[in-house]
Structure 1
Amino acid sequence: MAFHISLVGRTDLSGEIYRQIRQAILDGRLRPGERLPPTREMAAELTIARSTVTVAYESLLAEGYATSHTGAGTFVSHQFEAKRPASKSRRSTTRAIRVRGVWQTISLPAFFLRAAHFDFRPGVPDASLFPHRTWRRVVACALRSHEMAAGIYESPAGNRDLRAAIARHIGVSRSVSVSPDDVIVTNGTQQALDIIARVLLEPGDVVAVEKPGYSPPKDLFKALGARVIGVPIDSEGLVVEALPGEAKMVCVTPSHQFPLGMAMSLSRRRALLAWAERNNAVIVEDDYDSEFRFGGRPLEPLQTLDTTGRVVYVGTFSKTLLPALRLAFMVVPPSLREATCKAKFVTDWHTAIIAQAALARFIDEGAFARHIRKVSRIYSERHEMLTEGIKSNFGDYVDLVPSSTGLHIAAYARSASLHDINAIASRALELGVAIGSFPLEGKPQAGLMLGYGGIETARIDEGLKLLRRCFDERERVPRRRPKAA
């Protein structure tokens, strides 16, 4: 590769080349075995005599920093252990640049940094079920497509074929009747929420979210300067009467509330739509995993019930395919279409063209529908096994929240606090069992989530036995009594 060397203002050119290459070797920028640029090329790049570069290389060879192979070139020696380069923050003596205070309140996710033999983490699909062979074929077709041949930027809204395929898919699977012009392709749900927030919110505006709910959107809205207000959940979903009247946007998961798992009742959906119309607010409907339904009658999405253009419908392929693809979409009402396209443009212009073209073909060929049917059968079996296992073996510790949709189930701890549940989760992870937990606002107890997408069916029973062991161990830990006054 080309190696940057600065000779501006230098007089000892050979010595400067030697010192800069040597330092790059010592701090790891040039790795052992890596080929150094030929002397002729470096001389031409630096507009100096070749003999000047040759003298520098001879010094590196003489001191063992490099080795030479006739006819092959000059290479970094293997005898020097590379050191990690010092960051500018450690080398600098000036004051650190201050960032906005909100970033001190936001943590990077560490949930998936450690692998688990018994993976009950929520929201994780089974990567082993992904149709890799079919996907490789559609990616190969995408690489030969007109868009790749042209090599130009895509529309911010996304690949036209993919938007049409998405419109057909949700039209059939969710009764969401839309035009491809209403669909915007995004890099995951989080970017869809970011775009909507950029379009609608001014600093200080109020966003209502579910409580408990999914935390990344809350962090996003805070980072954009919005005021985030949690709204309680009951057995029918979001409590509409508790919505703050000044909210400009409401984010909900009506088909499979995260994390509790219940579906919002039809009457509550209609009440929410009426509230949005009265208060001139927008509803963001996060329909993140409703493709997987294992019982009960499906309820209509808010978008389908909406008659006044108040709902932005957000869907993702992270649960149905793979999170690594970073492919999602949103359906926006006509009044927001132009602004959301502009917001997508200033954010990252457009989502990767190859992935979009591949997914369009994958859907149009029927491969996506076949994949959903296949994994739904497997997830249904795991859902039933996990549900029965919790009821049978954890009834003295938790109360299961009924749910027939998605990739996880939730339960309320009967007496364990969030501290207890987190301690149980930590101990479980030591045994190779990963679960999720969440606080219950205003209650001393906590909740836990158990996903069934990322764990093999044959491992569920053993994983639950290990988890039960962790609950039993925690139950034997003496409770701290409050000190007497």
Structure 2
Amino acid sequence: MELHIVIEGSKDLAGQVYRQLRDAILTGRLAPGEQVPPSRLLATQLGLSRKTVSEAYSRLTLDKLLVGQIGSGTFVNTPAEAKPKPKRFESQDLAAGKLIEHWLNQSFPLSMRHIGPETRSQYDFQGGIPVRRQFPQEEWRQCVLYGLRQSSNSSGFYAETEGLPALREAIARHVSFARGVQCTASDVLVTNGAQQALDLIARVLVEPGSVVAVEDPGYPPARMLFAAQGANVVGVPVDNEGMQVDRIPDGTRLIYVTPAHQFPLGMPMSADRREALLERARELRAIVIEDDYDSEFRYEGRPLDSLQSLDVDGLVAFVGTFSKTINPELRVGYVIAPPAIRRAMTIVKGLSDWHTPTMTQWAMTKFIDEGYLQKHIRRCHGIYVARREKLHAAFNGDLQPWMRAVPTNAGFHLAAEMTAEVDMTQLLRLARRVDVALYTLDEFYYEAKPQPALFFGYGAIESLDIEVALGRVATILTELSQ
């Protein structure tokens, strides 16, 4: 047979033959089972050396496009019949199928999920995201380089599970200064974010059937984490003084609260309620988790002492994070663990991940010791003050007929209760149409009936955009009212 092969020039001759034969086979011009000319004959027809054609045939044979048959010649390979793919187990086929399906049905609240640029609205009030434009990139770069140098000089063995001594010392100084926490470096356990701190406490204290009390509304990832350990999670209502301590059930062994800045409503827990909570924990012999996630940012009044600083019985675990002050991607948190559970938590962390990455720990240590953290907090505080004032101006102005802000004096989010009847689903849908992302508080409620309210995070939205976004919301509310 003759093949239509065109040789151009004198370079890569074998490659030219190979590519043209390969294209002929893949496009079907050379059918499976069809014989190709002997290498000597094809070389003569093309005016090439036999070695050149043989090299092209060898490459096609390695690609399994040609196959040689002794005594018969070389043929286009006939692909074997595709074997049916084996049926792989689906989640429902496994012995743990119901548990897997349970997790597949779980989800984080919309206001806390990762949002890609393709779905992010121009004006987005998502919560939990600190200001980014003011982040001290140059100072952080110096700290990371310092961390790399320190790591390169390390022994190469695993580091201390509790965290680097230098970072634990820096954290102890920081929380003592910023929140009045009573601790030393030996009380600090460095974790991969606050979420791991909650996980470690739950692993140590919770077993199937254990009663865990959480605020309702409250922080869903904490509630979901406790339930994952088999806990009987009980939602305790909150009022304008915080968790209603007298509603904490008997038999509770773990209590989760956000006393400095109740999540998501925002009010601080009153001094009387704090004393009552500690007394109730003493009666129950229960551990209290004080999640102090963003109280470094305060705007008015004297800051209340941390719950941990009032604890004389060693029942409060103070959990903090640098995700809200610096960057959520950093994943560095800590827990000031009470003596009764500190050693157990350290063992459990060692089983979980040995220790938090040391390079990041060294960088964080320098960031604190050089004063960059406090400087960054002061810079962000000024920005949040301006944004907060913009929100309050709207609540007291164009938005006043429909909502009012829940009083708060810390953090970088606000909750606003609806004071007029509004179709919330319609409001959110119409706001998205004009590129404004709003979020309700519905997903933060557990057992209590959700109250009509909106969640306004102001870390991710620029100050100049707040007035524009809320102006569009006011327009939508006016149209819905009419």
Whether TM-score is above 0.5 comes out as yes
For 2:87, the equivalent position in structure 1 comes to: 92
Equivalent in 406, 415, 432 of residue 429 of structure 1: 432
The Cα of 1:57 is off from its aligned counterpart by 4.5
Q: TM-score, normalised by structure 2?
A: 0.78
Please tell me whether the aligned partners of residues 103 and 223 of structure 1 are also in contact (alpha carbons under 8 angstroms): no
Per-residue Cα deviation, 1:144-183 (whole angstroms, up to 9, x for no partner): 1156543321211112111110000011111112111111
Q: Using structure 1 for the length normalisation, give the TM-score.
A: 0.77
Matches of 2:388 and 2:197 in 1, distance apart?
A: 29
Partner secondary structure for residue 341 of structure 1? helix
Measured in 2, the distance between the counterparts of 1:431 and 1:184 equals 46
Could you tell me whether the CA contact under 8 Å between 1:254 and 1:287 is conserved in 2?
Answer: yes
Answer yes or no: is 1:450 the counterpart of 2:456. yes
Q: Which residues in structure 2 correspond to 1:5-404 (within 5 Å)?
A: 57-59=59-61, 92-94=87-89, 96-97=93-94, 98-100=97-99, 102-107=102-107, 111-113=113-115, 114-146=119-151, 149-404=154-409
Taking the aligned partners of 1:311 and 1:378, their CA distance within structure 2 comes to: 32
2:401–2:420 CA contact under 8 A, matched in 1: no
1:178-231 CA-to-partner distances (Å, cap 9, x unmatched) read 111111111111111110000111111011000111111111111111011000
The answer to whether residue 472 in structure 2 is matched with residue 472 in structure 1 is no
Q: Distance in 2 between matches of 1:443 and 1:458?
A: 35
Contact 1:416 1:445 in 2 (8 A): no
Kept in 2: contact 1:399–1:413 (CA 8 A): yes
Which 4+ runs in 1 deviate beyond 4 A? 53-57, 59-64, 440-444
Q: Does structure 2 conserve the Cα–Cα contact (< 8 Å) formed by 1:212 and 1:233?
A: yes
Assess, with a 3 A threshold, how the Cα gap between structure 1 residues 182 and 56 changes in structure 2: closer, same or farther: farther
Q: Is the 8 A contact 2:131 2:460 kept in 1?
A: yes
Q: Which amino acid aligns with 1:428?
A: A
Distance in 1 separating the partners of 2:109 and 2:440: 14
Q: Which has the larger radius of gyration?
A: 2
In 2, the alpha carbon distance for the partners of 1:278 and 1:108 equals: 34
User: Which residue identity lines up with residue 410 of structure 1 in the other structure?
Assistant: A
1:311-355: CA deviation from partner (whole Å, max 9, x where unpaired) = 000001111000011111110011211101011111111111111
Report deviation, 1:109.
5.8
Tell me, yes or no, if the aligned pair for 2:318 and 2:337 is still in contact at 8 Å.
Answer: yes
Deviates more, 1:377-386 or 1:434-443: 434-443
Kept in 2: contact 1:122–1:435 (CA 8 A): no
User: Distance in 1 between the 2:155 and 2:475 partners?
Assistant: 59
C-alpha distance in structure 2 between counterparts of 1:55 and 1:255, whole Å: 76
How far, CA to CA, are the matches of 2:184 and 2:57 in structure 1? 68
Quickly say closer, same or farther: Cα 1:209–1:94, change in 2 above 3 A: closer
Secondary structure of 2:397's match?
A: helix
| Structure 1: runs of 5 or more not aligned | 1-21, 27-52, 65-87, 477-485
Task: Identify the range of structure 1 (100-109 vs 318-327) with the bigger mean alpha-carbon deviation.
Answer: 100-109
- Distance in 2 of aligned mates of 1:242 and 1:57: 78
CA contact (8 A) 1:142 1:148 kept: no
SS in 2 for 1:392: coil
Gapped runs of 5+ residues in structure 2?
Answer: 1-21, 27-54, 67-83
Per the TM alignment, residue 472 of structure 1 is displaced from its structure 2 partner at its CA by 3.3
- The percentage of counterpart residues that share the same residue type is 41
Q: Distance in 1 between matches of 2:212 and 2:472?
A: 40
Question: Is the 1:237–1:257 Cα contact (8 Å) retained in structure 2?
Answer: yes
Query: How many Å apart are 1:91 and its aligned residue?
Result: 5.7
Structure 2 partner of 1:482: none
Evaluate the alpha carbon distance shift between residue 91 and residue 452 of structure 1 in structure 2; reply closer, same or farther with a 3 A threshold.
Answer: farther
Compared CA separation, residues 54 and 361, structure 1 to 2 (3 A): farther
Quote the Cα distance in structure 2 between the aligned partners of 1:222 and 1:331.
Answer: 23
May I ask how many residue pairs the two structures share in their alignment? 400
